[in-house]
Every structure is written in C-alpha cells, then in structure tokens.
Structure 1
Amino acid sequence: MLIKNCSLITWGTSNQILPDQSIRISSEKIEEIGPSAQLLPREKEEVLDARGQYAMPGNICAHTHFYGAFSRGMAIPGPAPRAFPEILEKLWFPLDRSLDLEDVRYSALVCLVNAVRYGTTTLIDHHASPNAIAGSLDVIAESVLEAGVRASLCYEVTDRNGLDQAEAGLQENLRFLSWLKSRPEFLGILSGLVGLHASLTLSDGTLQRCRDLTPEDVGFHVHVAEHFADEDDSLAKSGTRVVDRLARFGILGPKTIAVHCVHVDQRESNLLADSHTWVTHQPRSNMNNAVGMAAVESMLRAGIKVCLGNDGFSNAMWEEWKAAYLAHKLWHRDPRRMNGNDFIQMAVYNNAEMVTSQFDGLRAGELSVGAAADLMLVDYQPITPLTSGNLPWHILFGFNESMISTTIARGKLLMKDHELVTLDEAKIAYEARQRAANVWKRYEKQFIAA
C-alpha cells in the first residue's frame, strides 16, 4: 500500500511534522517515507489518497478490560456504593460472574469496534469471567484477529471465588501462553501475561503457585493499591505494603505491569523503579471510582516507566490524555501540574516502549522506516500554527475522535473514510444488546439470591 498526500506526525525519538509526504507499507511494516512527488506508486500497489490529512501512529492502550463492556447503562440495585471495595462487590464481581463464553466474545468485539473507530491499534487486556474460564482467552484472541489490531491478553487469577477457580485461572493463562508459543504466525500480533486481580484477593499460597508455574520470561499484569484497602489488607496479611509483598513473591520485573499504584509510598516507588516494572495510569477510572490520583509526575522523575491505559473506559485514548492533563491540575489545585510533556511521555513514548517489551521487540508508536504499519489518518484543520513543539496542546484542545477517518494496523485497512472494514458494527451491536440483556438478568439474580 502507498499512502500519499499526507502530513506526517512522526512521534519517534524526535517528533517531526512533515507536510506533503507519502508512506509505503510492505510486509506489515513501513518500508519508505518521502515527499509525495518522489515516492511514486509501484505496479499493482494499492494507493490511498490521504487528501492532506495528518497521518500519525495508532494509539496504544496500556491497560483495559474488554469484559466490562456490558456495564454501560446498567443499574446497580440498592444504594450507590460508598467506596471502591463496595463498587467491586456490587458491580464488577457479580458482573464478571454473569458472563458466558459468547458474552466474552461480544464484549471483546464491541470494545474492538470502539478501538478501530478511535484509532487505537494495540491494547493490553485484563480479563475475568469466573463461570467461563477455560477457553476465554482463545475467544478474545479470535476477536482480536478478526478486528485486525494487536493485543496482549491474560486471565485474572483470584481467590475470591475459591481455590479451584484460582487454579483454573492460572491454568488458562499457562495454556494460552503455551498455545502462543506453538503459533509463531501470531508473533507481534498476540502476546500473553499471567493476570492477577489484586493483592487483596490473593493468598500467599496462590501468589507462590503463580510464581512457581509462570515461565521466567513471562510477566504479570496486576492491580496495585488502587484503593487504600489494598494496602490495609496487605499489611494485615503480611506486615508489608502491596508492592513489598509482590516483590517478595518475585512478581515484579521488566515484563510486569502494575496497574494504578494510587496509594504506593516512596519505598514502593523505589521497588517499582529498581525492578523496571511498568506502571499504568487510568485517570478517568480513578476519578469515577473516587480513589485518588497516583503521583505519576514523581514516579516519572524517579525513573518509573508510567504508561497510560483506560481501565475499560472507551478506547478513545485522546480522552484519557485530556483527563490526565486536567485531573492532576485539579487534584493538586495547581495549573502547573501535569505539563504536556509528561502526558506525552506516558501516552506516546512509554506506551510504545511497553509494546516493544510485550511484543518481542516490535517497534510501534512512531512513523519511521522499519516501524510497525499501525497508523491513523486525522482530518484536522488547525486554526493556529501547528508545530512539533505545540502539538500536545493542539491534541488537548483541538483534536477529537470524530476527526479520525482511517485506521490501519499491521499494514491493513481496518477503517476507511469512517467505514469499518474488518468488523460489522451494526451486527455486533445488535448481538451485544441481546446478550447484555441476559447478562443483566443473571447479574440481578445474584442480588436477589444474596
């Protein structure tokens, strides 16, 4: 494919904005970049005319939950939850117990429709369906392959439904990792981690078993200190804080993702930095759950690779960027907090480096020769000068997702001129509505039984 007549936003180590360029894609990677007048079509090469739109790398989501899709619009019986532990008990735990394998499939598909429409081409998912564990990661992988994006998958191991289900969750992770190793054709498309819910739902025995059975070259994906109840529980169980406890069991490391880290202290931050553990920040979720704001600016200064996810909110990742920029100013009552370079460091550069780590060296998140052909076209008409220096503020105050006209991943068109190519959005939405209604009925029965 040759994409011509576009203005490039390259990101990369030195971001550039290059007008009137063409991009040649071959074997799922960027083969050439050059002026449109010089980069001419080859015989039988598909040509896509960008008509002056901006071409920029596809967005990356460093932590999400596809399975939460059917929570949209769902009423929680009784009084509203007062704090995050009650949100888990009243919403997320009964919801994930209400899913069967086809619900898992369609909750993934609706999120993937959303990702393609909003230019998000790589996602790191964390899954739970306690009554449909075996094969659940295969179902999600099939949906990812159908959509055409990239994803890292795992199943959430937890003791909250008993030791048998904890073991079943671990075995689902290990089975999926083994299957991936037998399928080299999916290298750079699918990857896997061992999922852990959170310290507060994991016993010492389960943590030790996960560590003992997980291959040394595989990381973990775990919620960490999202609410101070996680720290209280860890202190009561072990006499140590959450990150110290995870470190004791060998869970931290350069492949492991620690999600949220809202209530970690300085010692825990040092452990995260020294172990090269990834941390992901999800400001929309943190605001919604009223759990506080992680000290991500301090973490970045300490050398922690803080990335940006969405925790199951929409895959419109620019919305997460904007939330990160604004929420910290309000939280600290200081307009100097969370400058544009900080959220770009998380959302662009650190997210891209995480993808390289999780996908066997794949170079994503930039437009350069040899990088993954994951990109989007954005129909943005700036009303003030747009430069590499002021680009973050154009994205914050000018860009919106409706401007994304075309999404390409692995060198293939997933959406062209706002029309999805790989997924039937109307059919998926129709089936999801039917399935969600039944999920809600099963969810409500759990409250009646309780």
Structure 2
Amino acid sequence: MTSTAAPLDLLLLPTWLVPVEPAGVVLKEHGLGIRDGCIAFIGPRAAAMKLAANEVRELPGMLLSPGLINAHGHAAMSLFRGLADDLPLMTWLEKHIWPAEAKWVDEAFVRDGTNLAIAEQLKGGITCFSDMYFYPKVASDCVHSSGMRAQIAMPILDFPIPGASSADEALRQGIELFGDLKHHPRIKIAFGPHAPYTVCDANLEKIRVIAEELDAAIHMHVHETAFEVQQAVEQTGERPLARLARLGLLGPRFQAVHMTQISEDDLALLVESNTSVIHCPESNLKLASGFCPVERLWQAGVNVAIGTDGAASNNDLDLLGETRTAAMLAKAVAGSATALDAHRALRMATLNGARAMGLESQIGSLEVGKAADMVAFDLSGLAQQPIYDPVSQLIYATGRDCVKHLWVAGKQLLDDRQLTRMDEQQLTATAIAWGQRISGHNE
C-alpha cells in the first residue's frame, strides 16, 4: 500500500479514514500520506509513523473522506440566490430568471458569482464541481486561480445567450476552450445543451459529433418535470430520452441531469447506454418537479451522482445536506428504509460523481496513486455523540459547518474552516453590492 522513495510532503492521522473504494470500509487509526499532490500511502498508524514526512498532522475526532463532488450546478447564479422563490419551474424561469439574466449577466457577474460559489463549496467540503453557465471561460479562470477542480460545460441553446449570439458560436467557443484547457490538471471542458426543449435535432447532432471527436462529456437537463415529458410526447410522439437515444447522444460520456420521470423504457435506455444520472433532490423538491427513483436506478446498475443545482433554486450549495436529503428521499420514494444507506449515499457524493465526469481514475476515492482531493469532517461535537458508525453520523447527524480542512491535489484550500486562497470578507461585500443593484431594479 505504499511507495517510500522520498519523504512524504504531508502525513495525515485522522481517527477514521473512509476510502469509499472498497465500498463500506471504515479504517480506524490509519494514516494517509501525500507526495506531489497524490496519495502515496494508506496504512495503519504504526506503519505510518515510521515514514519520513515533511509535515505530520494529527486529526483527532475527524473523519477523512474523498472530497465531495457536486455533479450539477450553475455557479454564478449564486448572485440570484432567493431572488424568485416559491414559484413553479416555468414561471420561475420565464418570468423571473431569464429576464434577470438578460439584464444582469455579463463577465463581471459571472466572475463574482462563480467566486462566491467556489468559496461556499470549499467551505462545505466540495473539492470538484460541475458548472453549466454563461461565459464559461470566465468561470474556468476563477476555478484555475482558486485551486479547485471542475467540469465546465459550455451552455448551448437554439437562441442567443449572454456571451454567444448563436448555438454555432457557443460550439465554436466550446471547442476553443476545450483546446486551450485540454492539458489543465484540474479543469475539464464539457458541452452543455440546455434541455431537450431548447435545443433542436440539428444542433444536438453537431454536439454529438464534436463530443465524440474530442472525447468530451455532454451535460444536459433531461426529464426535469412530468410536463416536459408530456409536452414532448404530445408534440412529437416521442419521450425526450428516447429522442436523445435516437440521435446517438446517450452513453458513458452523457450526464442526464434531474431525470424525475423514468418509465421502464427510459430505464432500459439508461442501462443499455451506460448513461449517468445526476440527481438534484432539493431543487426538484423546491420546484415541485418530481422525484428521481434513485434506488430503482441503483439496483438496475445505473451510475447516479448528486448535484445541488444552482443557488437560485436550491438555495444553498451544500452537498452534504443534499446527500442527506437524497438518502431520506430515496427511502420514501422506494418505500423501503434500506434504500440508499449512508455508505452508498457517500459514494454517490464522491466516486459516482467522479465516474459521471470520467474522472474516476483520478478522484472520488482515497486510493494510492489518486489525486489527494480530501476533506476532514470534525465529528467530535456534542451533536455527533455517541458514534457507532461514523459514516452514518456524517450523513444523518452532521452539517457542513463540521468541515474542518480540505485539500485539492494535495494543496490545502481550507485550514481550520478558513479559506487559504480567497478573501471571505471581500466575497461577501461583493455579493451584497450585487444584491443591492439587482433588488433596486426589481423594486
């Protein structure tokens, strides 16, 4: 389990180490060593203490796990948090969000909103996130300087969007950005057709061809509501997922976001194509969009990851809280208390997200050779006692305020709850200033 060529850069000694792979394992009194941004050692504490290390950190009462992976969101929409709450999805989009975007979204908005989202996610234990929003180059610049990891999906719609006057222009920008960042160690570019009802067959076919050529992921809202599916069937006689299958988009690189409506035929298509589903329970609950049948998907062998969606419809980017909601909801939907147990819920928030993004060989579990993307949760508090199963305690009794330390590629981005590279006061002040500008317009 070790390679001991040079001294470790850092040796961590947590009370519990949860590697996620192999499944269901909790290692007590083990150490994890990092060298050159990767995990170089995992083994019992006694063996760990014999290794040379430049820095040794004791993490008493803490659980060390892979960093959480937020598999779907719209980072810059943090600046619209709480702008138009308690409305149905299409009213929310057409009457509030789209007009606000048309008025306010520019490069400065995306930069400030993305930085706010990155900081919130780091403080919540998230080391990697998927983003689908306008001006993706600006978002990727924010990710680059923050030290975080991300998949940035180029949004593509049939009509003009902020930063791109047409679907063809958005595709051109996506190809260029993909080329610029293809060797970036922490950023992957994907293509993000918005939804089946906003992208025509011709544009979807272009996206499929380009994604195949570049071996890039496709990230898309699919079957978010019953209305979307029903409308498609009435207009075309075909369910949206069946249309995507006919056009050749489904496959291991395809990330189907939401999927609250799943028929037997839909399930067969997901299984056969090895498509990943990204489950966003709190956004779906808040917009009354429906329930993704997570346990049914899991038992059929579909890879299900988890996302927060944007802060405009959630309203937080709290993946730990999202995972707890997902575990509870899965039980209610399946009518079974054994559905989505705590260990599988944590896997959904880590390794399954990595797999959806094609990053499972690099991140998502604590294994020698993988990138050192990790989070330490403090389980020493009153509300976590007594501890029978630390993973159950993490999922069912712990909030994101227990996130103590966080590393991406071995670099510490959160130290004792303090961001190491970002100025929290400045970010807060900037967000307040945007809120004042935007609400002034709404009054």
Normalized against structure 2, the TM-score is what?
0.88
Shift of 1:165: 2.7
- Rounded to whole Å, the distance in 1 between the matches of 2:338 and 2:209 is 46
SS at match of 2:232: helix
SS in 2 for 1:327: helix
Helix, strand or coil at the partner of 2:278: strand
Matched residue SS, 1:53: strand
Give 1:371-382 correspondences, 5 Å limit: 371-381=370-380, 382=384
Q: After superposition, give the CA deviation of every residue in 1:334-354 in whole Å (9 maximum; x if it has no partner).
A: 645544455344234422323
Separation in 2, partners of 1:149, 1:116: 8
1:413 match: 412
Q: Does 1:272 align with 2:273?
A: no
Partner of 2:114: 108
| Conserved 8 A contact 1:194-1:214 | yes
Residue 288 of structure 1 deviates from its aligned partner by 0.3
Contact map agreement 1:153 1:190 (CA 8 A) in 2 = yes
Q: 1:197 aligns with which of 194, 197, 211?
A: 194
Change (3 A) 1:203 1:329: same
Q: Give the AA of the match of 1:305.
A: N
Residue in 1 that maps onto 2:222: 224
In 2, distance between residues paired with 1:239 and 1:75? 34
Change in CA separation of 1:433 and 1:171 when aligned onto 2, cut-off 3 Å:
farther
Equivalence for 2:181: 180
- Correspondence 1:346 to 2:355: no
In terms of mean alpha carbon deviation, does 192-201 or 215-224 score higher? Answer: 215-224
Find the aligned partners of 1:155 and 1:249 in 2 and give their Cα distance: 20
Q: Aligned equivalents of 2:49 and 2:330: distance in 1?
A: 47
Unaligned segments of structure 2, at least 5 residues = 1-8
Question: Residue in 2 aligned with 1:6?
Answer: 14
> Out of 31, 50, 55, which is 2:64 matched to?
55
Amino acid at match of 2:124: Y
Q: Does 1:395 align with 2:401?
A: no
Q: How does 1:167-316 map to 2 (within 5 A)?
A: 167-181=168-182, 184=183, 186-187=184-185, 189-216=186-213, 217-312=215-310, 313=314, 314-316=316-318
Q: Indicate conservation of the 8 Å contact 2:63/2:390, yes or no.
A: no
1:48-127 superposed matches below 5 A: 48-75=57-84, 81=87, 83-97=88-102, 98-127=104-133
- In 1, the alpha carbon distance for the partners of 2:301 and 2:53 equals 48
* CA deviation after TM superposition for structure 1 residue 109, in Å: 0.6
Alignment RMSD: 2.5
**1:364 maps to 2:351:** no
Structure 1 pair 368–335 and aligned structure 2 pair: CA distance change class (3 A): closer
Do the aligned partners of residues 34 and 385 (structure 1) sit closer, same or farther apart at CA in structure 2, a change above 3 Å counting? same
Following TM superposition, by how much is the alpha carbon of 1:280 offset from its aligned partner in structure 2, in angstroms? Answer: 0.7
Letter in 1 for 2:168: E
Where 2:277 maps in the other structure, the secondary structure is: strand
**Take 1:148 and 1:366, find their aligned partners in 2: how far apart are those partners?**
19
Residue 317 of structure 1 deviates from its aligned partner by 1.3
Listed as ranges, the gaps of 5+ residues in structure 1 are: 130-135, 446-450
Q: Give the residue type in structure 1 aligned to 2:180.
A: W
Q: Cα deviations across residues 153-188 of structure 1 (Å, max 9, x unaligned)?
A: 01221124489432232222222112123xx2x13x
- Aligned-pair distance for 1:441? 5.1
- Write the letter of the residue equivalent to 2:398: F
Count of aligned pairs between the two proteins? 423
Once residues 44 and 339 of structure 2 are traced to their aligned partners in structure 1, the CA distance between those partners, rounded to angstroms, is 39
Instruction: Spell out, residue by residue over 1:310-351, the C-alpha distance to the aligned partner (whole angstroms, 9 max, x if none).
Output: 112433211011111222444566645544455344234422
Task: Answer yes or no: is the 8 Å Cα contact 2:157–2:193 preserved in 1.
Answer: yes
Q: TM-score, normalised by structure 1?
A: 0.86
| % identical aligned pairs | 26
Partners of 2:193 and 2:284 lie apart in 1 by 19
| Contact kept in structure 2, 1:174 and 1:214, CA below 8 Å | no
Deviation (angstroms), 1:107: 0.8
